[in-house]
Structure 1
Amino acid sequence: MNPTVTPADLAALTQELAARIGRHAPCDGLHETAVPDLRFRRSSRASEPMHTVYAPSLCIIVQGAKSASLGEEIYRYDPASYLVTSVHLPVLAKVMEATPQVPYLSLQLNFSPDAILDLAQETARPESSPPGTGRGISVTPSTPPLLEAVLRLVKLLDTPEDIPVLAPLAHREILYRVLQGGQGALIRQFAVAGSQANLISKAIRLLHRDYDKPLHIEELAREIRMSPSALFKHFKKVTAMSPLQYQKAIRLQEARRLLLTETVEAADAGYRVGYESPSQFSREYARMFGRPPISDVRHLRETVLPTLSPTS
């Protein structure tokens, strides 16, 4: 952090962001906004760990704290830091600090690899030691320039007529600030054509799109122009799991969503996400979520869904 930046500078910015987010997210749950790719989340209590998939995005917490577990690694972030996910990642997320008096408040801003690539090309700078393939998730200390840019974007919600023209500019500045941060060089690698991180990003997009189809490592490796051994090695560096484990996590989370939001039987949900055996689906579902499909959905409907707003 710049030595001229004081904790009070960050506190003033996060407090103003908290006031504005709290106004636009008056009840618990996920709140979409009029600004493309920007959403807010509010929670009045700490949560149990929840399996979810983080999209490529920036997440900033302005009140409370949260953790995201990837394999055995735990990424904790709060108003002093921000989290960036460079690829779609299945994680175990948990709101750690929240009360009705001081609720958890955060914002998420999604971004695309193309946007990173455009900025990376315009702001190219020699790296003293170009990073290799690294995790697709990172936590970095917040800075006033980043929070000021985020605040400008959030303020546009009060002047919706300005959003079409000014929101893309603010979004671009935010991404620029992220790329100038401590993990910027690593994030850039996911957008650099031909880099190992970029090839794994492509593999992840293919798996995320075709999660319900059989996985053949040789075909996937050929598609991204990597050897099967290199694919396995670098995929695990980015995601902390193998391609097969990644596909399984995506499949099971989609099945859980189907069971919660549509009237389908457990076996039907399993078939729709790619399982041919209902017993295998039920077994792997229980291993990941701790309960068989029907029991798990009943538990979620009784304990989790009632705390969420209709907008979540």
Structure 2
Amino acid sequence: MRTRQVLSDDEKRSLYDKYGEAGLKGAGMGMGDFSNPFDLFESLFEGMGGVGGMGMGGRSSRNRAVDGQDEYYSLVLNFKEAVFGVEKEIEITRLESCGTCNEISLKVPAGVDSGSRLRVRSEGNAGRRGGSPGDLFVVIQVILDPVLKRDDTNILYTCKVSYMDAILGMTIKVPTVDGMVDLKIPAGTQPNTTLVMAKRGVPVLNKSNMRGDQLVCVQVEIPKQLSSEERKLIEELSDLSKGKTASKFKLRDLYGTSSSSQKLETAKGKVAEICSGR
């Protein structure tokens, strides 16, 4: 009987064809029963999740909480600050319910590098209608050191020594992130030898009790020119190292009748003095 009534009533039939039973419910109550046009609209589409998938959920969607957006900040550190960590006061501009600027204290851990990102939760832009605030992401940029180079957790340094210092060995002062430190150059050090200074590198990020090393590359400087006296002494050293008797410059004339080993050491010392300008 109800179907016949619907089919015989053009207006109800139109509602039935478009909206089914939901349309009949709205039509049966009469337009005068709705004080607000949106009430009729919500009645017709109750449980249908909006019109045509367009996400129109009624007045409730307009009151839904919206989370705040994340904020990004670029922080520049010097080499040592990145190695050992630092605490910085930074001022950020963001959307807040009570203002737009805020200063926060940021603790940067030891071992960060350029490109590292630190996340500070709930320090981003404020949410709307009770939504949660976003997060603050701090992007690190590190100023390069003119002397020390970084390779992950290791620090690289290059030193130059004279060829006599490489032959005889010596102790030199080397710059590190901990300050100047003594480094022993062993006798007979070859060009481009790498010496390891253990635990003088960068702390491992989030594991500050672990550190990398400082690697020192030793470059041996060979003089391009020699004085006549330097040349004679070096030739004599060459002869002694080969077990030969000097012909042009007799060691016994300078050092008496010392043994061969004593002559060699004395000659080395003499060469070192001449080469160092003493």
- TM-score, normalization: structure 1? 0.17
Structure with more of its chain in strand, by fraction: 2
- TM-score, normalization: structure 2? 0.18
Structure with more of its chain in helix, by fraction: 1
Q: Which structure: larger Rg? A: 2
